[in-house]
């Protein structure tokens, strides 16, 4: 019985789900994400603005985590990079960080929670 190369098959399958134009942001950037939400028959676009605190995965399974403060409470959301529901991602601010995951932002409160140093 011949051994199948599953990695090759998986990459070929994932190619059809990849985004044509890759998103251009890194961890630490403040981004404004336009996300399409469907409720029953209606659909609308909702914006989510926050700081990218992590990126994980590769290929079709790549995701990024965005954190924002909403009325003093931290809200985090994970978005798939290749989701067809993401209509637009605008980079509001670039920030230089020295880590690939800035989970230390979770401990910050007040004005420091919205700034990456």
Domain presence at residue 1: no
CA–CA distance, 48 with 5 (Å, rounded to integer): 40
Q: What is the DSSP letter of 18?
A: S
* Cβ neighbourhood burial of 51 (10 Å; 0-12, 13-18, 19+): buried
pLDDT in tens, 34-62: 999 999 999 999 999 999 999 998 888 88
Domain count, the chain: 1
Domain presence at residue 79: yes
Instruction: Residue 43: give its domain's CATH number.
Output: 2.30.30.790
Q: What is the DSSP letter of 83?
A: -
Domain presence at residue 115: no
Give 46-53's long-range contacts (Cβ < 8 A, gap of 24+).
48/77, 49/92, 50/75, 50/77, 51/95, 51/102, 51/105, 51/114, 51/116, 52/25, 52/26, 52/27, 52/28, 53/27, 53/101, 53/102, 53/103, 53/105
pTM of structure: 0.82
pLDDT band at 68 (very low <50, low <70, confident <90, very high): very high
Domain presence at residue 95: yes
Domain presence at residue 66: yes
Domain presence at residue 104: yes
The domain of 97 spans: 10-108
Domain presence at residue 4: no
Domain presence at residue 3: no
Q: Give the H/E segment covering residue 10.
A: helix 6-15
């Amino acid at each position: 019985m011949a051994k199948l190369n599953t990695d090759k098959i998986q990459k070929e399958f994932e190619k059809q789900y990849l985004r044509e134009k890759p998103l251009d942001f890194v961890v630490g950037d403040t981004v404004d994400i336009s996300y399409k939400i469907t409720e029953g028959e209606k659909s609308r676009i909702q914006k989510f603005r926050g700081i990218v605190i992590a990126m994980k995965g590769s290929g079709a399974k790549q995701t990024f985590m965005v954190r924002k403060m909403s009325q003093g409470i931290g809200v985090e959301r994970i978005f798939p990079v290749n989701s067809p529901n993401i209509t637009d991602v605008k980079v509001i601010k670039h920030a230089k960080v020295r880590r690939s995951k800035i989970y230390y932002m979770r401990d910050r409160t007040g004005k420091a929670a919205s700034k990456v140093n």
